A = this chain, B = another copy of it.
Amino acid sequence: MSGLLGTNVITQIGILVHDIDKTSRVYADFFGMDVPPAILTDAPEIARTEFEGAPSPARARLAFFDMGSLQMELIEPDEHPSTWRNDLNEHGEGVHHIAFQIAGMAEKISVLEGKGYALQQKGEYTGGRYAYMDTAPDLKVLVELLEND
């Protein structure tokens, strides 16, 4: 494995939705699971979200379903600028990203930028951080890097 991420294990599929409560109920019924709580991402002073290089107050409500070895993440963004809001406005509901658990966020972002993949959005959450890299032109899907402490 000499890939750019140091891993090829997909840990999450992210899906943009307009109404997370409604779609969570549909998923729970379809797959015979409990409806998970929708979690609001951290406030801007904790998340320190940057979208296209500028700070953004954007937040989202998230719901997670365990689907075998990976999670389905439903994402209902607010109206502030973000990769989530932009994609939802441009492409409608559907798959937003696939995620990989990596080590060494700053270095991985740098490696990917060196290969021409721009950092689209990054932020912090309790216990870790994330970055969306604009791999869509090449891989036909957005890649999210996740690093937990």
Q: Which residues of A contact B (CB under 8 A)?
A: 1-5, 8-11, 13, 15-17, 23, 26-27, 30-33, 65-70, 72, 91, 93-95, 98, 135-136, 138-141
The 8 A-B pairs with the shortest beta carbon distances in the complex, nearest first, are A3-B32, A9-B68, A69-B69, A3-B31, A95-B95, A2-B32, A93-B140, A8-B31
Decide: B4 and A30 in contact? CB cutoff 8 A. yes
Decide: B10 and A67 in contact? CB cutoff 8 A. yes
Task: Give Cα distance in the complex from A98 to B13, angstroms.
Answer: 10
> Assuming the A-B contacts A30-B135, A95-B94, are A13 and B16 also in contact, with contact meaning beta carbons closer than 8 angstroms in the complex?
no
Indicate which residue in B23, B32, B72, B141 contacts A1 across the interface (CB closer than 8 Å). B32
Instruction: Determine how many copies of this chain the complex contains.
Output: 2
Residues of chain B with a CB closer than 8 A to A67's CB: 8-10
Indicate which residue in B8, B30, B65 contacts A66 across the interface (CB closer than 8 Å). B8
Decide: A23 and B140 in contact? CB cutoff 8 A. yes
> Assuming the A-B contacts A8-B66, A67-B8, are A141 and B95 also in contact, with contact meaning beta carbons closer than 8 angstroms in the complex?
yes
Task: Give Cα distance in the complex from A141 to B16, angstroms.
Answer: 10
Residues of chain B with a CB closer than 8 A to A98's CB: 13
Decide: B15 and A13 in contact? CB cutoff 8 A. no
Task: Report the nearest B residue to A115, measured CB to CB.
Answer: B30
A89 to chain B, nearest CB (A): 15
Task: Give Cα distance in the complex from A65 to B98, angstroms.
Answer: 14
Task: Report the nearest B residue to A135, measured CB to CB.
Answer: B30
A67 to chain B, nearest CB (A): 5
